[in-house]
Structure formats: C-alpha cells, structure tokens
Amino acid sequence: MSTNPPPSTSTPATSATDATLASATAADDPQCLVCHKFSIEYGGSSCGCPTLCRKCAMKQGTGGKCRTCHQMFGDVKRVVK
C-alpha cells in the first residue's frame, strides 16, 4: 500500500496576480487633486504642496492657487522623484 503525498496547497504566481498587485500599487499612489486621474508629481513653487500630475502642472505652469493650503504660486516645481 503506497501513500501519495497530499497535493500542494500553494499556487505559483501568475501574470494575472502580478497585474492585480501592480494595479493595487498604482491605486495606492496619491491622485492629482485637479483631474483625479494620474499620480501626483508637482506642486506650487512657493508652498511645495504635492497636488498636481504632470498634465495638470503643465496647464497651471503660469501660476494658480494651491488646492491644499490655498497659497498663490507663480509656477510649479516637481516634488516627487
């Protein structure tokens, strides 16, 4: 009478699992306070609050009002590496 080992309960990582983890990580990134679509990379030059994605930063590059602290800024700067 031979006994077979029990079937393995661990499952190998799949591309679907990897894709789910990647999207969860991307979803954890703070989103732009203007468009709510892309990750925050820029903020006002005077206050430095990270509030804008690249696309919205280019639109507001000549100045505006910070969505976080409401301070006026003359241009934007990159705040996230």
Side-chain half-sphere CA neighbours of 39 within 13 A: 11
pLDDT tens digits, one per residue of 34-72: 999 999 999 999 998 999 999 999 998 888 899 999 999
Q: What is the mean pLDDT of the chain?
A: 79
Q: What is the DSSP string of 25-69?
A: HHHHSPBPTTTSSSB--EEETTT--EEE-HHHHHHTTT-EE-TTT
pLDDT tens digits, one per residue of 3-40: 666 665 555 555 554 444 444 445 578 999 999 999 99
Q: Output the pTM of the full model.
A: 0.61
CB 52 within 8 A of CB 41: yes
Residue 76, number of CB atoms within 10 A of its CB: 23
In this predicted structure, what is the pLDDT of residue 16?
Answer: 52
Domain boundary assignment for the chain: 42-78
Helix (H) or strand (E) holding 17: helix 15-28
